[in-house]
Amino acid sequence: MLRIVVEQLFGPPMAERQVEIVERKGKGHPDTMCDSMLEAISVALSRYYLQEFGTVLHHNIDKGLLAAGMVKKWFGGGEVLKPMELFIGDRATMKADDTEIPVAEIAIEAAQNWLRSNLRFVDAERHMTYQVVLASGSEELTDIFVRSGGVRAANDTSAAVGYYPLSPTEKAVLELETYLNSPGFKERFPETGEDVKIMGVRHQGELELTVAMPLLSPFVLSEADYFARKEAICRDMLDFGRRFSSFNNVDLHFNTLDTPGRGLGGVYLSLLGTSAEDADSGEVGRGNKVNGLIPVGRPIGGEAVAGKNPVSHIGKIYNILAHRLARQIYEEIDGLKEVYTYLVVQIGTPIDQPQIAAVQIISKPGIRIEDVSQQVEELIQKELAGINDLCIDLIHGRYPVC
């Protein structure tokens, strides 16, 4: 029998606490690149399995490393000396019904397609090499996919947590990064790379945003040109930041390691738009959570979501579901300030039967847990009953994981 626990959480919601810290890594950050490419591989494999065999077969493409390459940069140009290297690891079904499955080809094509769609100056063939180190899964885990039943059994014992709503600080960090990597911004400032990282620190009503974003060496002709372009970009970001009306003041800091007078050593330049070209490697699970943020101070799960199979790996399914449930509870029940949801499942149990579903609520004055518990339980039961629909959405990549 499903255990659902609904309890009152005492204390202020995140937006009313004195200090809040929120980070986001943009699509050109090596960790986000790694998450995104391995998730693209899982989606591509899932679609192939479904088309060829009528079902999603066992796979987990959630162990990956993006090893940094090497470039030489100068004002006005640069060259790639050594390409980046993507290691694609863990498990996949290589053969079914006596049919060999071109897993490596599918994986490389999916990663290359993601690069072509997201990083303007990375040549998916020349600037990246690919090491596919996938192998077949164990018999017991693979057997999950041929067992009878309306829903799959969980292939791991795992816990997930979600929350809603986003605080004004979380929204500001998310919106600013989205803006800096938007087509309109890149059209106005084509010299900016996609490797955007934002740290938001709020103390009471004061918000400080620290932004790292490289300028592209082919567009920057001198040190003076760099700082002139940087000043124009900073003005634009400050104009955008004025829309964050929830704060008494918004301070913005941009590329704070820069030091005039040090030439190439004192400016943040990139040739391809990502620090993975020569400065920083990436790894699955080190970046944004499924709501696109790294919210220091919020409860977060320990799973790397990207690349996990979408029909039985609870590390993916429940992380998405937990955030979705928190949002539904908040939006459909009046009188709530903040909602946290926790889901746990045991390996081998059908994914629609969690070991426990716990909900913690910060409510407005006068709202008692007894007033909302039944509605919360009904929403949870409804979502679990439709979990196969969620899995279908995950198969087709309809939910971002980073």
Per-residue pLDDT tens over the stretch 285-325: 999 999 999 999 999 988 999 999 999 999 999 999 999 99
Query: According to CATH, what is the number of the domain 18-25+168-281?
Result: 3.30.300.340
The string of pLDDT tens digits covering residues 266-281 is 999 999 999 999 999 9
Sequence-ordered alpha helix ranges (H) in 213-350:
223-241, 314-332
Q: Which residues contact 272 (CB under 8 A, 6 or more apart)?
A: 71, 80, 119, 121, 122, 127, 193
Q: Write out the two tokens for 389.
A: 């629909």
The string of pLDDT tens digits covering residues 16-26 is 999 999 999 99
What's the average model confidence in pLDDT over 205-210? Answer: 97
Q: What letter does residue 137 receive in the DSSP assignment?
A: P
**141: pLDDT strictly greater than 70:** no
In whole angstroms, what is the distance from residue 104 CA to residue 109 CA?
9
**142: pLDDT strictly greater than 80:** no
**pLDDT on residue 137:** 74
Q: Write out the two tokens for 75.
A: 């004002």
pLDDT-derived band at 233, boundaries 50, 70, 90? very high
Strands 128-135 and 84-92: parallel
**140: pLDDT strictly greater than 70:** no
pLDDT-derived band at 151, boundaries 50, 70, 90? confident
What's the average model confidence in pLDDT over 103-126? Answer: 98
- Give the type of residue at 241: G
Comparing C-alpha atoms, which of 196, 37, 193, 214 is closest to residue 115? 37
Comparing C-alpha atoms, which of 322, 167, 189 is closest to residue 247? 167
**pLDDT on residue 148:** 64
What's the average model confidence in pLDDT over 370-386? Answer: 95
**pLDDT on residue 2:** 86
Using alpha carbons only, what angle is made at residue 251 by residues 246 and 254, rounded to the nearest 5 degrees?
Answer: 130
Tell me how far CA of residue 261 lies from CA of 19, 136, 222, 253, 265, in angstroms: 36, 55, 11, 19, 9
The string of pLDDT tens digits covering residues 42-75 is 999 999 999 999 999 999 999 999 999 999 999 9
pLDDT more than 70, % of the chain: 97
| Residue ranges covered by each domain of the chain | 18-25+168-281
**pLDDT on residue 144:** 65
Q: Which residues contact 103 (CB under 8 A, 6 or more apart)?
A: 45, 92, 93, 94, 132, 134
Q: Write out the two tokens for 198.
A: 């934002």
What's the average model confidence in pLDDT over 91-99? Answer: 91
In whole angstroms, what is the distance from residue 326 CA to residue 329 CA?
5
In whole angstroms, what is the distance from residue 20 CA to residue 301 CA?
19
* Mean confidence (pLDDT) of the chain: 95
Residue 203 burial by Cβ neighbours in a 10 Å radius (0-12, 13-18, 19+): exposed
Q: Count CB atoms within 10 A of the CB of residue 346.
A: 14
Residue owning tokens 């634009």: 236
What's the average model confidence in pLDDT over 128-157? Answer: 81
Residue 385 burial by Cβ neighbours in a 10 Å radius (0-12, 13-18, 19+): exposed
Upper half-sphere CA count for residue 2 (Cβ side, 13 Å): 18
